[in-house]
């Protein structure tokens, strides 16, 4: 196990180096990030400061090493637009995104698993057909349609804050989070319900479920313990990866609700060619994804003892 984790961490470091290198190539080498373009004019003193900071006058390889070094010491530089410290911006956005991601995942697990189990145990009945139709809609309707719909219909009503945001009104975080969290959760909940239904139906035909019944266990135990524990394994993989993606920032949803997370920050940064903001966010997204998929593998081995980690 320790060997497995060590290797996966080494793997993560390699992925990060490769990812940063590609991002660096894309953003810093293919074109001058500090040049004025179109209507944007970058003041010469900031251009100079940044050139100095990132060692832009040095050879390419040295530049990259300096860039890596800055990154690993959490020195992300200053953003082009507002000249704020990028580290501070991230420190504000990461918890917001993490909160959103975790709550969205919790919602989708609860809804998705419940719907999937209900559909599976009542296969071909009205309930099953109803859930199938709803999940098809959930998977089929694009996230931005759901998001815009919820924003148009609910924001500003009841407890939901108005969008666009008013800077003078303080909103508790949980009020801010409900609509974006549901927007994110709907698609995945529908997908998890489908996955769980299929997996459960397969498991329900398994011999060990028959054995559980032959033992005289109640149907609740047969389904809730013996069948559930086996059929939830593929869902764990999907949910883990999904969390990894969400932690990197939900671009569309955060933008629609003007939710101050990494996704919102990233979209604005891309619009503004704000490279010092783009790079760490993308690297963070890569990092969370690698860490989460490692955790999923460990959890997978725990859930299915036939899998051994080497």
Write out the residues near another protein by the rule CB under 8 A: 206-208, 210-218, 226, 229-230, 303-306
Residue 65, phi then psi, degrees to nearest 5: -65, -40
What is the Cα 182 distance to its own chain's centre? Answer: 14
Nearer to another protein, 227 or 285 (CB): 227
Nearer to another protein, 174 or 208 (CB): 208
For residue 40, what are the β-bridge partners? 37
The SS3 of residue 88 is helix
Q: Report which DSSP code applies to 28.
A: I
Q: Rounded to the nearest whole angstrom, what is the least distance from the CB of residue 106 to another protein in the complex?
A: 24
Give the residue among 196, 262, 247 at the shortest CA–CA distance from 223. 196
Nearer to another protein, 52 or 304 (CB): 304
Write the CA distances from 160 to 19, 142, 189, integer angstroms: 38, 22, 22
Q: Rounded to the nearest whole angstrom, what is the least distance from the CB of residue 62 to another protein in the complex?
A: 53
Rounded distance between C-alpha atoms, residue 95 and residue 284, angstroms: 13
User: Where do the H-state alpha helices sit in 26-125?
Assistant: 44-53, 60-72, 86-121
Nearer to another protein, 84 or 229 (CB): 229
Nearer to another protein, 154 or 301 (CB): 301
Nearer to another protein, 166 or 218 (CB): 218
Q: Rounded to the nearest whole angstrom, what is the least distance from the CB of residue 291 to another protein in the complex?
A: 25
Q: Rounded to the nearest whole angstrom, what is the least distance from the CB of residue 234 to another protein in the complex?
A: 13
Q: Rounded to the nearest whole angstrom, what is the least distance from the CB of residue 102 to another protein in the complex?
A: 26
Rounded distance between C-alpha atoms, residue 20 and residue 222, angstroms: 49
Q: Rounded to the nearest whole angstrom, what is the least distance from the CB of residue 300 to another protein in the complex?
A: 11
Rounded distance between C-alpha atoms, residue 291 and residue 84, angstroms: 29
């Amino acid at each position: 196990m320790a060997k497995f984790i060590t290797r996966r961490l080494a793997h993560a470091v390699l992925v990060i180096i490769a990812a940063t290198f590609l991002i660096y190539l894309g953003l810093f080498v293919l074109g001058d990030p500090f040049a004025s373009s179109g209507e944007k004019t970058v003041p010469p003193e900031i251009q100079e400061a940044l050139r100095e900071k990132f060692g832009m006058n040095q050879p390419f390889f040295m530049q990259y090493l300096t860039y890596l070094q800055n990154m690993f010491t959490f020195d992300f530089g200053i953003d082009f637009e507002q000249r704020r410290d990028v580290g501070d911006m991230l420190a504000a956005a990461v918890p917001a995104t993490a909160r959103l991601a975790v709550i969205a995942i919790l919602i989708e697990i609860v809804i998705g698993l419940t719907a999937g189990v209900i559909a599976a145990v009542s296969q071909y009945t009205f309930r099953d057909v109803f859930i199938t139709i709803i999940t098809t809609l959930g998977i089929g309707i694009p996230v931005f349609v759901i998001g815009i719909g919820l924003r148009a219909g609910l924001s500003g009503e009841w407890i939901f804050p108005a969008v666009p945001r008013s800077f003078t009104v303080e909103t508790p975080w949980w009020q801010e989070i409900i609509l974006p969290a549901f927007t994110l959760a709907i698609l995945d909940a529908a997908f998890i319900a489908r996955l769980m239904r299929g997996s459960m139906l397969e498991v329900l035909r398994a011999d060990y479920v028959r054995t559980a019944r032959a033992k005289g266990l109640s149907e609740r135990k047969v389904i809730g313990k013996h069948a559930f524990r086996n059929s939830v394994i593929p869902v764990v993989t999907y949910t883990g990866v999904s969390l990894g993606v969400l932690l990197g920032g939900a671009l569309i949803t955060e933008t629609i609700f003007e939710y101050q997370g990494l996704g919102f920050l990233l979209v604005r940064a891309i619009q503004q060619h704000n490279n010092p903001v783009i790079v760490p966010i993308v690297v963070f997204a890569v990092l969370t994804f690698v860490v989460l998929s490692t955790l999923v593998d460990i959890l997978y081995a725990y859930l299915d003892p036939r899998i051994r980690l080497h």
